[in-house]
Structure 1
Amino acid sequence: MTQTLTLDIGPMAHGGHCVARYEGRVVFVRHAIPGETVRARVTEGGPGAKYWRADVVEVLSASDYRRRHIWKLADSLRAHENDRLPVGGAEFGHITDQHQRRLKGQVFRDTMQRIGGFSIHDQRLPLASGDGEVHVQDVLSDGPYHGLHWRTRASFAVSAEGSLSMKPHRSNELIELRGMPLAVGSIHESGIFGFSFAGADRVDAVAAGAGPQVTLVVHERTGLPQPDREALIQRLLQLHARNPEIANIVLATSHPEPVPSGARGGARGSARRGRGGRSGPGARAQDLPAPARPDQVSYEVVAGSRTVTEPLPQPGPSAGAWDGVPAEVVIRPEDFWQIHRNAPSCLVSAAHKMAQVPEGAAVADLYAGAGLFTAWAAGLAGPTGSVLSVEGAPGSSASAAELFSESPQVEVLQAPVESVLDRLARRDLILLDPPRTGAGERVITGIDAAAPREVLYVSCEPSSFARDAKSLMSRGWELADLEVFDLYPNTHHMESVALFRAPRRR
């Protein structure tokens, strides 16, 4: 029988759970708020476990910051009433918007102290508040959204019956969805919920530029028999015909062996032309040998187009020489792009406010993706400057190569960042936006050896940022500016932008 505990809830910890104690044992509790008294059902842990995990099922003494959860399926209280688990992905939905950001700020500061070994209070940061705190900033300023309708990308599992579904936290159970309120309206209100995707095991929905059109990448189940595959394609064509907002549908097929070059992408039955094929004086896509992957994927256009278009934010005509820098980028829907509808403009604005990129500057953009920050740097550096754009993912790098094919100041390299550290010398600015795992010691060592004037670090994970910041600061780098943004409302995640200045010895 599942054990239920009565707990006094302590502080919020990194990862979206609060800390409580029961008979001396630590219990990580989700769906709670610090200061509450709750009853929580143990979801993981036995008599010999060092700690337990639990979900709130009843609130005995509620926080003033508790509200009715913004998403019924993610509400642990209503889930308990219906004898099921809450879906993951909205673990802060029961907390008022402002208090979510307050708790995230506390977690960020604690993580810097615990892992980074430094106190935010001790850094001389140009904070407008003047209180020495880093406040997590709201970026949904265009309406009372309560943290809803911000995701331009969402991924769904497919149940055995073909319904779009999501999993609870740390569970493989599938819960059928009737909508996705964190997603922009064009996804949330589309005809994909209630449609049968039988034969697929995952569906990715993309609303490029937060616009009205939706692109679907439908991942067919491995080993799907050909008749079932054809039936899936026919249903997808019907979905496209009945729902004008579903503009593009791409079918993704996994293969146990590498896919022949003529079998990837394009219209149905045709080969996809390599997007890096266009060459220009500025976009030299130098493809290094990629390690063989056991699982390759081919893409087939069922309806519409193979690509989507995302706008590229620019700080404004007074910011620098923008002639020749594209205003939008064409990418494939499976390529990485910031998922919050306001994230590109928010992050570019933060970079523009912090970093110094005069005309003629030399910049390196690491983990560059399809070129969001590369475009910003190229616009400021102008034709007399230089920007090295480095991305390991072939698809995103190919998009960047095509994007900057007419920008002579940009060089695009498709390569792991670790393999190009010797190319970073004599840079005014090195910008990096690594994955959640962070840059790591080897890359930080290479950046330090390159001796740029400034380093701009964009991070979606406080713990890996704290580790890398500690490594930079131990070498004498100064944390000169820092902003944290609530790019993932109703979740525990956050995004930070930090500027480091070179040691004085340089």
Structure 2
Amino acid sequence: MTPATPATPVTLDWTDRVLDVEVGPVAHGGHCVARHEGRVLFVRHSLPGERVRAVVTDDQGGSFALADAISVLEPSPDRVAAPCTWARAGGCGGCDFQHVEPAAQRDLKTTVLREQLSRLGGVESDVVVEELPGGPLGWRQRLRLAVDDAGRAGLRAHHSHEVVPVADCLLAPSGMLPDLLEQRWPPNGHLEVAVDATGERRLGSASVQHAAGRDWELSPGAFWQVHPELADTLADVVRDWAAAPRGGVAWDLYGGVGLFAAVLAAQVGPQGSVTVVEASTQAVADGRRALADLRQVDFRAGRVERVIAGLPDPAVVVADPPRKGLQKRMVTEITERAPERVVYVACDPAALGRDVRLFRERGYGLTRIRSFDAFPMTHHMESVALFETL
């Protein structure tokens, strides 16, 4: 008897399929969750409680697929008309929530942050994503334009290298972009555009920003917060929570040009020490120039995990890691040095939630947290967490 041939697994692919779905809760990443025929759809341009018609944009054959709402059959009361015509299915990938009333955007972000803290961090929190001054448009003072193979500058489509030839971006200050978008540029490159503290537009050139009571001269491409109110807001929270002891030792990890080091230096005083660890040699050069009057600040160029081994034990650590967060290795290395407090600046709520659990496993509890809507019209937020020994 010939053995039966195993059945070939059926691989689902709903790409380009149009589905009518009931939209459920918001999820991290700028979309909401819907279900269809036992599978999960992550639907952009939708809102919880809506019924929408959605086209599947990406399906790898697993338990979920990605989709865009292309028409709204039953709208949410929080839905508004998007101010930008490119904020739609098949349009620019920069904005996730232009179709949402601004206060409701913050509610969605609050829901996501609390869910990530609970599910990944094991912490129930009443944190609320706070509004920053300036409104939902015109806030983005630093922007990177992509240039296509025909030399046209624009913005990327969602999860794509395609350059969308927009005429303007409403998140940028008025007048910052239109003339640049009309010109032709060397193909397949990019343009770094910024409006600095003087109100001048800078195109791939040095700029000046102001925060923590001083001016910062930044080299082209140097990191600085894109929302004009965020740098000072974060510096104020660090000042309140770090409480570095007079004459003590503090670390500013992933410190950039030393924004938080300036705050810590005032707390430890001339007899204390603040070490800034930053991988970008250009940022270190900018920081040394900006803080040349603070002899207690020492900049170290290099990867954080390599540099801190040779540093004296800190009383306070401030860490502002990239989107992936600190992760297990860095949480372990920081807590092994037994600081009294760790002030953690986080731009990704999932990474923060995971690291909350890692800190707790190392004997540090989350004692305070604030979050700011530093990126209106998008799903992004900026949070600050304080960890102290249990």
Using the size of structure 2 for normalisation, the TM-score is 0.92
Once the 2 structures are TM-superposed, how far is the Cα of residue 118 of structure 1 from its aligned partner? 2.5
Helix, strand or coil at the partner of 2:110: helix
Other-structure match for 1:212: 199
Between the aligned partners of 2:62 and 2:338, the Cα distance in structure 1 is: 47
Contact 1:156–1:202 (CA under 8 A) maintained in structure 2: yes
2:68 aligned residue: 55
Identity of aligned residues (%): 34
Q: Is the 8 A contact 2:284 2:300 kept in 1?
A: yes
User: Which of 387, 390, 395 is the equivalent residue of 2:274?
Assistant: 387
Contact 2:276–2:298 under 8 Å retained in 1: yes
Query: Cα distance, 1:425 vs. partner?
Result: 4.0
C-alpha distance in 2, partners of 1:347/1:434? 14
Residue of 93, 114, 124 corresponding to 1:88: 93
Deviation at 1:186, TM superposition (A): 4.9
1:100 aligns with 2:87: no
Task: Please show how residues 262-277 of structure 1 align to structure 2 within 5 Å.
Answer: none
Change (3 A) 1:351 1:50: same
Cα distance in 2 for partners of 1:170, 1:95 equals 21
The Cα of 1:485 is off from its aligned counterpart by 0.6
Q: Distance in 1 between matches of 2:346 and 2:315?
A: 20
Alignment pair present for 1:6 and 2:20: yes
The equivalent position to 2:313 in structure 1, one of 422, 426, 431, is: 426
Alignment-derived partner of residue 176 in structure 2: 187
Q: CA deviation at 1:400?
A: 1.2
Aligned partners of 1:53 and 1:112: how far apart in 2? 24
Q: Which residue of structure 2 aligns with residue 269 of structure 1?
A: none
User: Is the Cα contact below 8 Å between 1:203 and 1:216 reproduced in 2?
Assistant: yes
Equivalent residue, structure 1, for 2:345: 458
Quote the offset at 1:404 in angstroms.
Answer: 2.4
In the alignment, does 2:60 pair up with 1:73? no
Q: 2:132 aligns with which of 114, 134, 139?
A: 139
Cα deviation, residue 167, structure 1? 2.1
Give per-residue Cα distances to partners, 1:101-128, cap 9 Å, x unaligned: 11111101111122223322xxxxxxxx
SS of residue in 2 equivalent to 1:10: strand
Give runs of aligned pairs for residues 247-286 of structure 1, distance below 5 A: none
Q: CA deviation at 1:455?
A: 0.5
Partner of 2:52: 38
Question: Residues 458 and 498 of structure 1 are in contact (CA less than 8 Å); yes or no, is this contact kept in structure 2?
Answer: yes
- Secondary structure of the 2:120 match is helix
**Contact map agreement 1:186 1:213 (CA 8 A) in 2:** no
Residue correspondences, number: 376
Q: Which residue of 2 aligns with 1:313?
A: 212
Equivalent residue letter for 2:144:
S
1:25: Cα distance to partner? Answer: 0.8
2:376 pairs with 1:477:
no
How far apart are residue 307 of structure 1 and its match? Answer: 2.1
Deviation at 1:216, TM superposition (A): 1.4
Is contact 1:179-1:193 (8 Å) kept? yes
| Matched residue SS, 2:179 | coil
Please report how far the alpha carbon of residue 312 of structure 1 lies from its aligned counterpart in structure 2 after TM superposition.
2.4
Structure 2: distance between partners of 1:361 and 1:340 = 32
Match of 1:436 in 2: 323
The superposition leaves residues 287-344 of structure 1 with CA deviations (integer Å, 9 ceiling, x where unpaired) of xxxxxxxxxxxxxxxxxxx522111224xxxxxxxxxxxx112111211111111110
Q: Which residue of 2 aligns with 1:79?
A: none
Query: Does the alignment pair 1:414 with 2:301?
Result: yes
| Shift of residue 358, structure 1, vs aligned partner | 4.0
Shift, 1:356, TM fit: 1.2
RMSD: 1.7
* Kept in 2: contact 1:389–1:411 (CA 8 A): yes
Counterpart position of 1:165: 154
1:200, CA displacement in angstroms? 5.3
| 1:56 alignment partner AA | A
Measured in 2, the distance between the counterparts of 1:193 and 1:15 equals 28
Q: Which runs of 4+ in 1 moved over 4 A?
A: none
Find the aligned partners of 1:156 and 1:23 in 2 and give their Cα distance: 40
- Matches of 1:135 and 1:4, distance apart in 2: 36
Does the 8 A contact of 1:312 with 1:375 survive in 2? Answer: no
* 1:110/1:476 CA distance change after superposition, 3 Å: same
- Which amino acid in 2 is paired with 1:196? R
Matching of residues 142-153 of structure 1 within 5 Å:
142=134, 145=135, 147-153=136-142
Alignment of 1:275-354 (within 5 A): 306-314=205-213, 327-354=214-241
Residues 59, 331 of structure 1: CA spacing in aligned structure 2 closer, same or farther, 3 A cutoff? same
Matches of 1:186 and 1:411, distance apart in 2? 40
Deviation at 1:424, TM superposition (A): 4.6
* AA matched with 1:32: S
Amino acid at match of 1:70: P
Whether contact under 8 Å (1:186, 1:207) holds in the other structure is no
Q: CA deviation at 1:161?
A: 2.9
CA offsets 1:382-426 (integer angstroms, 9 cap, x no match): 212211111011111111122223321111100110012324543
User: Once the 2 structures are TM-superposed, how far is the Cα of residue 457 of structure 1 from its aligned partner?
Assistant: 0.3
Matched AA of 1:8: E
Question: 2:313, 2:37 → 1: CA distance?
Answer: 58
Residue pair 2:148, 2:187 contacting (<8 A) in 1 also: no
- Whether the 8 Å CA contact 2:146–2:163 is kept in 1: the answer is yes
User: Which residue in the other structure is 2:121 paired with?
Assistant: 116
C-alpha deviations, 1:102-160, integer Å up to 9, x for none? 1111101111122223322xxxxxxxxxxxx11100012x4xx3x11111111111123
For the 8 Å contact 1:363–1:377, the answer to whether it is kept is yes
1:424-463 deviation line (CA, Å, top 9, x unaligned)? 5432210000000111222111111111111000000111
Deviation for aligned residue 1:378 = 1.1
Q: Which runs of 5+ in 1 are unaligned?
A: 77-84, 121-132, 218-305, 315-326
Counterparts in 2 of 1:19 and 1:200: CA distance versus 1, 3 Å: closer
Structure 2, unaligned runs of 5 or more = 1-14
State the distance in 1 between where 2:240 and 2:294 align.
Answer: 24
In the TM superposition, what is the alpha-carbon distance from 1:28 to its structure 2 partner? 0.6
TM-score, length-scaled by structure 1? 0.72
Distance 2:187 2:88 in 1: 30
